[in-house]
Structure 1
Amino acid sequence: MLKRIWLGVFLISIFLSLVACAKEPFTKEEEKTFMNEYMDMATKPSEPQVLEAKMKPNLDRLSKEGSSNAIDGLLYAMYQKLPTLTSKAEGLHDVMAAAKAKKIDLNQTEDAKKIEDQTLKAFVGEVLKDHFYFVEENGRITVQPNMSYMLKNYEAYMTDSLKATIQFSEDEFEHPFYDADTQKFNLDIVAKRILLLEDNLKKYANTYYAETFKKSKEYYYQIYFGMNNEFLVDSKKFVLKEVIDHYQRTSKEYPQSQLSKDILAYLGKLKISHNQVTDDIQVFLTGIANVQTVDVVNDGSTLKKNTK
């Protein structure tokens, strides 16, 4: 009996040793080999769930930079798949609308089991398994990456710059700044995003994601100052009073920001032109945004970025 007990203890100790070995950090060479193989998968058409299955058990063995890059690779695979899912969602819109009319929550696995249409049921399963979720916006049902899932499950393995990037994307998905019904922008949301991007550019100026923050700031500047849309002016290109009021309020609330300085410079130009956007002012705005024009395309439900 005693021998059996000791044998059991011995086997358990061996098992624990093997588990401990499996969790030991990769050597630099091992990490390089793993990441090369992993990124090769990520850059090719790859199912996010397959990529995640390879990544997840190895996160503790990777360096912080390595684990963060692996998570970024998973996000890349998700964005690569997004157009396919979006196309499928458009084709199944009527079926999805019918399911929602029956009070079926497409984002809940248990509710999805109640779906009668087998094509839709399979599609919903695919969307949820790959960590996307359904969003209803202006009468249309679309698919978006589930950034909340990424933060909840992998935040501890991210660099601060990647975390800031994902948090920004999460806010973009959850809080649209444009209402297609009223054809109006929520300038408060746009201003807060610009201010956050200013802060991120200061904090993460020397990181891989600095360029992402820069491009996003350029895009939102064009929205905010009406460079790529006509929603902030009247038919004769006079800036709407409510927009002027917003600019003045924002510049007072955030006096130390670059946005405030640019607003004041813009208001100075508008004062001379009696609030009309002239060709000279358009040139001025292009200068402060420091970008080529990015069109805002209204597809009937949301706004998309189209870089010329």
Structure 2
Amino acid sequence: MSLPLAGLSAIVTGAGRGLGRAEALELARLGAAVVVNDHGQPGRDGSGAASAGPAEQVVAQIRKAGGTAVPHTGDVSDFRQAGELVESAIAEFGKLDILVNNAGILRDRMVFSMTEDEWDAVIRVHLKGHFNTTRFAAAHWRDRAKAAGGTVYGRIVNTSSEAFLAGSAGQPNYAAAKGGIVGLTTSTALALAKYGVTANAICPRARTRMTEDVFAGLRKPEEGLDPLAPEHVAPLVGYLASPAAASVNGQLLVVHGGMVAVMERPRVRARFDSKQEAFTHDELDALLTPHYADRPPGETFAAAEVLGLRRGRDEGD
């Protein structure tokens, strides 16, 4: 029996450590040839000198297991380098079939203390980085589809976060970037569906260097797989990248510890209509104030509350 991703090629960004590493290993295990992209800076804030070490280590692990992989150390937040990343996959494997966007950094700070650079850096790596690779991969698939006169195989898996769903007080830059990634994903899904390409986003919960503060109080179990291990997330990425997920498009899924939750798009909870041509302040006061009177201050999305996903980050002033 052939492997689910046999004959397919993939790019995984931020694949030198944590989630990206687990995802690259899973795609290779399922048969894909993988470009392991990682800029290699040691700091989770994107600081330190770039290094080929993390990407090369993952490539060596894939090859040792009998898989096919090549390293790439380009910075996905740079438009030109992101284009070179996509071109490297095409040059190495003849085409690109799967793009997993995972690269990111953290620069946490409360909104009243955040600097312009802290905002720009996180938006650039997360949101612009997702756009950059998506843009070049999408152009590749469109050109192939036009040349073939039909559809092609293409899968995009983007990485959002529960920080977007439930709010994260000390991460306004990160939460905004992750929300933007969901918007990018749904727009891309609609634009590329006619070419046979799907785009979905995941909100993973995993213990990595990016989340070491969030899960500092939760110890790893002495035996068995850690519920917060990245290996719990990787199988969903492998599924979304596979032919089996052809009908899954424009979706947002939360995943961790043996659980996958399919999120709904925002729905209208209540509607109020003016009894005249346009609302007045007094009319809105009479309608909306009672509606919110019994809700806790700062309550956000109901979906996040149902899943019990809320976790604030009040540190970092």
Q: TM-score by structure 2 length?
A: 0.27
Q: TM-score by structure 1 length?
A: 0.28
The structure whose Rg is larger is 1
